[in-house]
């Protein structure tokens, strides 16, 4: 008998490629300016918040990082190098968070029109692959 597991398969760091509709810089700036925005994960709609800050330690020290927190706990973090991937440097799945942020910001941009110029920037191809 094999056990049924709901834990996601370990895919390793920086797994897969996604093409976020919002780039890391735009998301970081929005989150910095709007720290109280609540998001819902793309999977099971868990409410979370995002915090834009600078890493305090480790090999990403002093780099920009977006931290995803729900129920008062840190669930995942995304550096710029992780943004276009399903998992971050630490093998944690981030796409359910990053895509939720992208969806929220895209919805806001179509409502307000304020951020349209930024949202239509082409992603930096040099960062991919």
Binding site for Zn ion (CB under 5 A): 79, 81-82, 89
Tokens for 105?
A: 């910001």
CB of 80 or CB of 109, closer to Zn ion = 80
Q: How far apart are CB 81 and Zn ion at their closest, in Å?
A: 4
Q: Which is nearer to Zn ion, 86 or 109 (CB)?
A: 86
CB 3, min distance to Zn ion, A: 31
Q: How far is the CB of 61 from Zn ion (least distance, A)?
A: 14
- Angle subtended by helix axes 95-112 and 24-33, to nearest 10: 70
Q: State the CB neighbour count (10 A cutoff) for residue 14.
A: 15
Return the C-alpha torsion angle 113, 95, 20, 53, nearest 10: 70
- 29 token code pair: 């700036």
Cβ atoms of residues 34 and 129 within 8 Å: no
CB of 15 vs Zn ion, minimal distance in Å = 11
Smaller CB distance to Zn ion: residue 26 or 98?
98
First to last CA, the chain: 41
Quick one: 21 or 64, whose CB is closer to Zn ion? 64
């Amino acid at each position: 008998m094999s056990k049924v597991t709901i834990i996601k398969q370990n895919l390793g760091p920086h797994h897969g490629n996604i093409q976020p509709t919002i780039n890391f810089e735009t998301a970081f700036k929005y989150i910095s300016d709007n720290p109280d925005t609540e998001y819902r994960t793309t999977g099971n709609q868990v409410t979370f918040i995002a915090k834009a800050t600078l890493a305090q330690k480790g090999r990403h020290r002093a780099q920009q990082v977006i931290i995803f927190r729900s129920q008062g706990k840190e669930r995942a973090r995304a550096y710029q190098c992780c943004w276009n991937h399903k998992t971050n440097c630490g093998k944690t799945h981030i796409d359910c968070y990053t895509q939720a942020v992208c969806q929220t910001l895209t919805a806001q941009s179509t409502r307000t029109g304020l951020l349209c110029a930024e949202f239509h920037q082409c992603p930096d191809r040099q960062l991919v692959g």
